[in-house]
A and B are shown apart, each in its own frame.
Chain A
């Protein structure tokens, strides 16, 4: 199956790309409130697990909109 036939999955890939950059890269400012390393890991692991389970559902032929899967 080509990527073009899996729009939902493509959207998740973009989210993962984003997560990889927005949470892990970029300038770390000395804000009054910032995500601690533990916070970031938590979000990161949570989203990865989530993306992973959505991708698994997709592979099993069950198309899931990302919004539904995230709830």
Chain B
């Protein structure tokens, strides 16, 4: 808690609300912005939403750097400090247990993509049928060459989908080794992921041994890179994906 206080000293608008063994990190907001009627309008303002979401995360990351933190969902407002204190005191046991579960651990995010060109040159060549068809297509002429190359394209595309799924489950299984827990998240479409390659894995891990986890990830990147897999690591995050939603008072 002393650590949390130190992390917040730089930001005068933030307060540490201490209640027993626990403390909540809070900041006073204006009802003009956050009352139900005002909020509905603000939520439609993407600039406002982005700014507040980034602030929410920055505060969590500062506290995370200093101590264990349970990330709360964005935009939880108490009308009075006493209400927040009551929540902290009534749910003390559950909150303390949840904190113990994530103490000394951070969340790391992993995404895997398949690069089509590298897959075709690498992973796809492990398939005998693809190798044969590649030779046939290269030797064929005219209309037959066209048909063979279309057949090859379809075969490579099917094989890529199969390989992507297989690689994703291998990655998840191996990464669970150095992690305490892991969870599969929804895949992001290319226009949202910001990458042209197809995403085959989006996952999060609760990790205490970060060097060990990163070593395993690097080993997997080396093993799978030639076959067309690219990996992306994000974090450390507050343990968003590893706290129970069941802490309502």
Contacts and interface: CB of A to CB of B under 8 A. Distances in A.
Please say whether chains A and B are actual partners in one complex: yes
Interface of A: 3, 6, 9-10, 12-13, 15-23, 25-35, 39, 42-43, 46-48, 50-52, 55-56, 59, 66-67, 70-71
A60 to B, nearest CB: 11
B115 to A, nearest CB: 12
Chain B: interface residue count, which band?
A: 35 or more
Contacts of A34: 73, 75-77
B53 A22 contact: yes
Contacts of B44: 42, 46
Interface of B: 34-36, 39-40, 43-44, 46-47, 49-50, 53-54, 56-57, 70-79, 83, 87, 98, 109, 185, 188, 191-195, 234, 237-238, 240-241, 243-245, 247-249
B240 A52 contact: no
Nearest to A8: B194
Given A28-B73, A29-B76, A47-B46, A13 B194 contact: yes
A6 B196 CA distance: 12
A26 B247 contact: no
B194 A9 contact: yes
A12 B49 CA distance: 14
Given A27-B245, A29-B247, A50 B74 contact: no
Contacts of A10: 194
A52 B192 contact: yes
Nearest to A16: B192
Given A3-B195, A18-B57, A22-B57, A30 B46 contact: no
A25 B191 contact: no
B247 A6 contact: no
Contact of B188 (A6, A16, A21, A59): A16
A10 B247 CA distance: 34
Contacts of A12: 194
Nearest to B98: A27
A32 B248 CA distance: 12
Given A32-B83, A33-B34, A42-B43, 11 more contacts: A21-B57, A26-B70, A28-B76, A33-B39, A35-B39, A50-B46, A51-B192, A59-B191, A67-B47, A70-B47, A70-B50
Nearest to B193: A13
A61 B155 CA distance: 32
Given A13-B193, A22-B56, A34-B77, A27 B70 contact: yes
